[in-house]
Structure 1
């Protein structure tokens, strides 16, 4: 019985992943060296770089983010993203120089690729965050950091970054 449940679970995971078009190449667009530009909540321009490359035999995406100008100058972070072929699921772990540590799960909604956190309760309020990648061209895309406090019915934009590939 246990084997049957495991087989059914894997089959359902594969079906859901196929329906969402999730596979090991879902986040390939992100690989590269990027120039970043944004405007913060106070209207100040900011910029930085993000270098995403494959490590561990090409199976893992390694991100190195650095804010170089604006209020966030000096903010740095890194992430490790990996596709689990047994569950057809992307996972990401983010860590930064301000003590941040976030865990994400990947998904696809239409032409948007998303990494979302699980819901968590902070100061009595349940919240969830996500990164949304969209507006893809060969050399650019847009990245939004969003948050919800109503279980995903509505999302609030906290930060939008415009990515441009450095050749």
Structure 2
């Protein structure tokens, strides 16, 4: 029974990402997550990311925390049913601020910034499973011809 349920879940997740954006595109992200990455010094770092739906389940709120540096960040994401577009605003304790637009690129859910002088950044969600996924921060300086991984965070369900 568990195997059959798991197979159905995989089909639903696969179907979601092969389609256009919808109000459920980023549902996989909702949850309380252990996050880990390698910092600039090559050290493995762990943190916490709590993502929940708020405001009558219309908004996804993210609360990110790196306990080793006391860095915190928060995002609010919302789907506009009229335009069929996801929007996200990110702010953090370092004074950072980004505005993103959601997309499906090569079958993966993505939040991306606008292209400015051939420079753009995006977060790509890959290897999505019920127990975790990879979040990849990428950048381009050639108008999107090539992308460089700038930060890889591995998510695992708490």
Is TM (by shorter chain) over 0.5? Answer: yes
Q: Alignment partner for residue 130 of structure 2, among 138, 161, 167? A: 138
Structure 1: gaps of 5 or more residues: 1-17
Q: Which runs of 4+ in 1 moved over 6 A?
A: none
The structure whose Rg is larger is 1
Q: TM-score if structure 2 supplies the norm length?
A: 0.86
Distance in structure 2 (CA, Å) of the matches to 1:99 and 1:20: 35
Out of 86, 92, 95, the residue aligned to residue 88 of structure 2 is 92
Q: Does the Cα contact within 8 Å between 2:18 and 2:107 map onto a contact in 1? A: no
Query: 5+ unaligned residues in a row in structure 2: which ranges?
Result: 1-16
* Per-residue deviation, 1:109: 1.9
Deviation at 1:41, TM superposition (A): 3.2
Partner of 1:163: 155
Q: Between Structure 1 and Structure 2, how many residues are aligned?
A: 142
Pair 1:114 & 2:106 matched: no
Task: Provide the residue aligned with 1:49 in structure 2.
Answer: 48
Q: Is the 8 A contact 1:111 1:134 kept in 2?
A: no
Equivalent-residue separation in structure 2 for 1:67 and 1:75 (angstroms): 5
Specify the SS of the correspondent of 2:114. Answer: coil
Pairwise CA distance, 1:19: 7.8
- How do 1:1-167 and structure 2 match up within 5 A? 20-69=19-68, 73-121=69-117, 126-166=118-158
Q: Confirm or deny: 8 A CA contact 1:105 1:115 kept in the other structure.
A: yes
Cα distance in 1 for partners of 2:99, 2:124 equals 15
Q: CA deviation at 1:106?
A: 0.3
Helix, strand or coil at the partner of 1:153: coil
Find the counterpart in structure 2 of residue 13 from structure 1.
none
Give the TM-score taking structure 1 as reference length: 0.81
Q: Deviations over 1:31-80 (max 9, x none)?
A: 000000111233111110000000110000000000123xxx21110000
1:29 is paired with a residue whose SS is helix
